[in-house]
Structure 1
Amino acid sequence: MTTQLSPDRIPVIAGIGEIADHPKDLAQGLEPLALLEQAVRRAGADACPTFIEEIDSLDVVNFLSWRYRDPEKLLAARLGVTPRHCQYGPVGGESPIRFIHEAALRIARGEVSVAIVCGAEAQSTATKAARAKLELPWTPFATDVPEPKRGAAFQKPIAGQLGVARPITVYPLYEAATAAHWGQTPRQALAESGVLWSRYAESASNNPNAWSKRAFEPREITTPSPDNRLIAWPYTKLMVANPSVNLGAAVLLTSLAKAREVGIAEDRLIYIHGGASAEEPRDFLSRDQFHQSHAQNAVLETIKTMVGGDGRAFDAIELYSCFPVVPKMARRTLGLGDDVQPTVTGGLTFFGAPLNTYMTHAACAMVRKLRDGAKLGLLYGQGGFVTKHHALVVSRTPPQGALSDDVSVQAKADAAYGPVPPFITEASGNGSVETFTVIYSGRGEIEHGVVVLRTTDGARTLARVPAQDQATLAFLTDMDRSPVGTHGTISTAADGVLEWRAA
C-alpha cells in the first residue's frame, strides 16, 4: 500500500535538538530524562516552539544508564503533552532510524501531525558517581523494572562461558572472517580500519556536539599502547564504541503543509524518501557464515536501487560505526571505494556512543549537512551483533512518489541464506578455523583465544585457546597470514570446554 502524495501527507524533518552535558560538579549532571526534555525543546525551538504542545507521537529510544518506570510517560508529562502514540522502544542501535521512518509513515497516513523521536544517555555521570559513592539527585532508580533482553541473552551458553557474548568480542569474529573472504592479510585489513576510523575522528573533531573532538592518525588508532590497549583482537580501545558520555538528541517531524503553515523556510525542511529493514537470527552461531550479513546486504541493496542503483549518488552518508567491520561491509555492498567519507557525525568511538541512540544524533548531523548544501543523504543504523539493520534515504528535495509502507526486505535476506551448520559442544580430532578472536584483560594481558571451528563432518563448534599456548596464539595473530581455513587439533579440557591447537 502507498499513501497519496499531498502536502498534508508529505512528512518532513522540521527540527533537531542536541545536548552534551559536561558537568564540572557531578551532582549537577543531568539525568537522562532531563537530557531528553532539553533535546526535545531544542528541536521545537529549531522548528516552531508551539509544535511542542502539539506532539501527538513520541518515541523514546531505549537507554541503559538509568532505569525509569515508563520513561516515555514521564517525558510526556514534563512536556505537558498526551500523545496518542507514546512508546519506549526496545534495544537496538538501528531503532532511531526505524522510529523516524515509522513516525514519517504515521504522518503520511494522516494519523499524527507532530512527531518526536528522542534518546539520551548519562553514562559518564552515572559511572563516575557510582565510583565516588555519590548519590545523584535524580528520579529514583526503578529497581523493580527488569532490564531488557540484550544480545547476550540470545546466545548459546558456551558463547557466554568463553566470553563471546558481548559486542566487543563478537564483532571481531566478523572482522577476521571478512578480511579473509576479501583476500586481505590481517595487516591490510587493520590498515583499512585505521584509515576509515581516522575519517570518523576527523568528522567528530568538527562536530560541536561530539564528546571527543580530537583527530587521530590511522596508526594512532590501530597501534596498541598503554592508552590504547588491545581489547579483542584486532580491536584496540580507539576502535570500539565509547558509551561513557552524557548526550541527548531529538528529531521533530511534521507534514509539509503544517511546516509551511507556521512559516518554516523550505530550505530547512528535510524529506523522507523511504527505507528498508531486515534482521539476522539473534544467535550469531545460528547464521550460515560470518563474512557478510544477508540482512545488511538486502537493506543496502534495496536502498541503492532507490537511488538509481549507484551508492555514489549519496553526497552525505552515515554508516553505523560501533566497530570497523560494519562500515567496511556496508561500503562494499553500496559499491563505494576505500576513499569513502563514511560519516557526518563522528562515529561511536569519537563522537560518542550513547548506546542505542547514536543514530538520533546522526540524524541531527545529517539534517545540518543537508541544510548546508548536500542533496541526498543515507542514514544506516545497525543493532545487536550485526543483527538488526535499518536504512533511510533523506533529501533536501521532495520524493517523486508517495512514501511506501512496505519497509521490510526480510524475504530477500532470508532467500540469500545458505545451509546453517549444526552446532555441537562435543568434538575431537581435526577442526578448521571459520573465524576467531583473542580476548585481553583490562591490563592488556591475553585472557584466552576463541575460535569458531568447523569439524570434519561440517558441524560448527566453539573452542578456547589457553593463554599459555603461545604458539597457537602467535599463529592466530600473525599479521601477514590469516588463520581462517587452517586446521588444528580439537581436545577437551579438564573443565569440559573444547580447546584448539594449531597444527
Structure 2
Amino acid sequence: MTNVVIVGIGEIKDRPDDPSLGLDPLDLMAAAARRAEADSGARILDRIDAVEVVHQITWRYEDTARRLCERLGIDPARAAYHPGGGESPLRIMHDAALRIASGETRIALVCGGEARSTVRKARKAGVALPWPAKASAVEHPWRVEEMLSAMGRAHGIAQPTYIYPLFENATLHAWGMTPGEAQTESARLWSRYSAVAADNPHGWLQRPFTPAEIETVSRENPLVAWPYPKLMVANPSVNQGAAVLLMSEAEAREMGIATDAMIHIAGGAASKEPEDYLDRDCYHSSPSQQAVLQAAAAINGAPFDHFELYSCFPCVPKMARRTLGLPGGFTPTVAGGLTFFGGPFNNYMLHATCAMVRRLREGRGSGLLYGQGDFVTKHHALVLSAAPGAEPLSSDYRVDGKADALRGPVPIVVDHHDGDATVESFTVIYGRENAIDRAIAILRTPEGYRTMARVPADDAVTIERLTDPARSPIGERGIVTTADDGLLEWRLS
C-alpha cells in the first residue's frame, strides 16, 4: 500500500504600505512554495514532476501554472491550472495524492495566491502596478449565467452574499430557532473563529472579536444581506499565498524527511448539488454535504481531534456541526476562518491545510478538512492524520449516490404566478448606510411549485415581518403580483 504524505507547507502574507511594492499572485505562490521546501528540510523543488495551481482571480495570467514554474526555475512534466471553487484545494490535493499512489506522479506541489488588497489599494490611489500584463482570455471562467436560472439572474440573486442567507433563514426555522437565537449562535461561532485567527501569524485580522462586536450592526459592520452583517461574511481583500508538497511515504523516507513531519492523507469524499440553487430539494440542508461528512467520519473511524469547517457564511459550519453531531461550543477551525484569517477566494482551504498540518505535527491525532464551493453546491472533505490510514486511498471518492438517497423531491420552478404563495426562504438586501434595497423571497405556490419574487423597499410592513428577530417568517402567506418590469413581487396578505 502506498501511503501519501504532506511533507512541506508554506504560507505568506503581504501587507505593504505602498501598493506598488506589493507582490503579485505568482510571487506569492513562488514564495509559499519555497517556504514549503524549507519546511520539509529537504531539497525538493527541482525534483517536482507535478505543479497544481488553484484557480486565481485577482490578476489573470496566460498559462498560470507554467508562469509559476518559470518563477521557480523548474520544468515539471505536469503543470495544471484548475477550475475554481472553495472546495477546490482539497479536490486538487486529493487527486494529486491519487496520482502519487498510482505511480503517475512522484512529487506534487499544490499552491495558490491572491493579492486583492494590493489591487484595490492601487486602484484607489491611481497607481499602475508593475506586474505582468493580464491574460487576454480567462482560464476556466466562472460563468454564473451557465449555472443559474434566468429568473435568478433577472432578480439579481446571482452572488454568494445574497444566496447563502437563503440557507441561513431556512435552517434556523427548521431547527426551531428564532432568528435572534440563530444570530446569537452565529456570532458566538464566528467569535471562536476570530480567536484562532488572532493566534495565526498568517491571518489578516489578528485580534479576537466578541460575539457582540460581530452581531451588532453599525457603520463599521453594516448589514449585507439579512441576517448577515459584514463581520459574518468572507473577506477576500487580502494578499495571501499558500503551498503544500506531497509525495509517497517511501519517497519521503528516502529523502531523509523526518517521520514526525509527515502528515498522512487518509482519504476523503466529494459530492455536488444541482448548480442552480432554485433546483435544490430544500434550503434547510444539503444532502451532498451530509453524504460527504458522513463518509469522512467513516474513513476516520473515530472522533476527529481537529476541524476546519468551511466558513464563508455561518450557515455552512452550522449545518456541518449538526451533521457531525458536534457540541455547540466546539472549535471549528485551525486557521481562523474566511472573515478573520482572510478569504483569498478559492485558496482558503490550502491555508487551512497548512494550519492543520502544523496542528497535527504538534498534537498528533486526526483532522477533518471540509470545504465547499459556489452556492452550497460543491462539497469535499479530506481526512489528515499523523499516522497512516488503515485502508489504501480509494480512487472512487465521490458519494453522489448517497447524497441522492438523502435528497427529497425537487419542486417544479415557475417564473409566472399570480395569487397566494408562502415563504420557503428569503433575504433582505442592503445598500450603503444600512439602507434597504429590496427583499427577495423564495416562494411555494398552492400547487407546490417554487418561484421567486421581490419585496420593494417601500413595503415597510412586509420588510418588518421578514426581519422580525423574534419570529421566523418561513411559511408566512402573501400575494404574488407581476410588476411593470415583468418581475414578480410578493407582499403579506
Question: Which amino acid counterpart does residue 445 of structure 1 have in structure 2?
Answer: A
Relative to the length of structure 1, the TM-score reads 0.96
Question: 2:132 maps to which residue?
Answer: 139
Q: Secondary structure at the match of 2:363?
A: coil
Which residue of 466, 473, 489 maps to 1:483?
473
CA distance in 2, matches of 1:140, 1:125: 16
- Aligned: 1:344 with 2:334: yes
- Kindly state the Cα deviation for residue 223 of structure 1 after the two structures are TM-superposed: 1.1
Question: 2:424 maps to which residue?
Answer: 434
CA distance in 2, matches of 1:157, 1:173: 18
- Kindly state the Cα deviation for residue 153 of structure 1 after the two structures are TM-superposed: 4.2
Pair 1:439–1:303, CA change in 2 (3 A): same
CA contact (8 A) 1:150 1:384 kept: no
Q: 1:62-101 maps to which residues of 2 (within 5 A)?
A: 62-101=55-94
CA distance in 1, matches of 2:18, 2:300: 49
- Kindly state the Cα deviation for residue 85 of structure 1 after the two structures are TM-superposed: 2.5
- Kindly state the Cα deviation for residue 120 of structure 1 after the two structures are TM-superposed: 0.3
Q: Secondary structure at the match of 2:247?
A: strand
Question: Which amino acid counterpart does residue 486 of structure 2 have in structure 1?
Answer: G
Which deviates the most, 40-49 or 55-64? Answer: 40-49
Which residue of 155, 180, 188 maps to 2:181?
188
CA distance in 2, matches of 1:323, 1:156: 23
CA contact (8 A) 2:27 2:71 kept: no
- Kindly state the Cα deviation for residue 415 of structure 1 after the two structures are TM-superposed: 2.4
Question: 2:433 maps to which residue?
Answer: 443
CA distance in 2, matches of 1:466, 1:283: 24
Relative to the length of structure 2, the TM-score reads 0.98
Question: 2:97 maps to which residue?
Answer: 104
CA contact (8 A) 2:7 2:262 kept: yes
Question: 2:27 maps to which residue?
Answer: 34
Question: 2:451 maps to which residue?
Answer: 461
- Kindly state the Cα deviation for residue 363 of structure 1 after the two structures are TM-superposed: 0.1
CA distance in 2, matches of 1:273, 1:147: 29
Question: Which amino acid counterpart does residue 233 of structure 1 have in structure 2?
Answer: W
CA contact (8 A) 2:25 2:241 kept: yes
Question: 2:246 maps to which residue?
Answer: 253
Question: 1:51 maps to which residue?
Answer: 44
Question: 2:372 maps to which residue?
Answer: 382
CA RMSD after TM alignment: 1.2
Query: How many equivalent pairs are there?
Result: 493
- Kindly state the Cα deviation for residue 150 of structure 1 after the two structures are TM-superposed: 4.2
Question: 1:13 maps to which residue?
Answer: 6
- Kindly state the Cα deviation for residue 103 of structure 1 after the two structures are TM-superposed: 1.1
Pair 1:82–1:262, CA change in 2 (3 A): same
- Kindly state the Cα deviation for residue 95 of structure 1 after the two structures are TM-superposed: 0.5
- Kindly state the Cα deviation for residue 146 of structure 1 after the two structures are TM-superposed: 6.3
Question: Which amino acid counterpart does residue 117 of structure 1 have in structure 2?
Answer: V
- Kindly state the Cα deviation for residue 82 of structure 1 after the two structures are TM-superposed: 2.4
Question: 2:487 maps to which residue?
Answer: 497
- Kindly state the Cα deviation for residue 163 of structure 1 after the two structures are TM-superposed: 2.5
Question: 1:239 maps to which residue?
Answer: 232
- Kindly state the Cα deviation for residue 147 of structure 1 after the two structures are TM-superposed: 6.9
CA distance in 1, matches of 2:236, 2:398: 29
Question: 1:363 maps to which residue?
Answer: 353
- Kindly state the Cα deviation for residue 43 of structure 1 after the two structures are TM-superposed: 0.5
Pair 1:152–1:316, CA change in 2 (3 A): farther
- Kindly state the Cα deviation for residue 265 of structure 1 after the two structures are TM-superposed: 1.4
CA distance in 1, matches of 2:8, 2:485: 57
CA distance in 1, matches of 2:76, 2:398: 26
Question: 1:124 maps to which residue?
Answer: 117
CA distance in 2, matches of 1:177, 1:416: 18
The CA deviation string for residues 387-441 of structure 1, in whole angstroms up to 9 with x for no partner, is: 0000011010111221111110011112222221111111111000000000000
Which residue of 398, 409, 414 maps to 1:408?
398
CA distance in 2, matches of 1:150, 1:180: 32
CA distance in 1, matches of 2:53, 2:141: 14
- Kindly state the Cα deviation for residue 317 of structure 1 after the two structures are TM-superposed: 0.3
Q: Secondary structure at the match of 1:137?
A: coil
CA distance in 2, matches of 1:377, 1:11: 16
CA contact (8 A) 2:62 2:136 kept: no
CA distance in 1, matches of 2:465, 2:37: 56
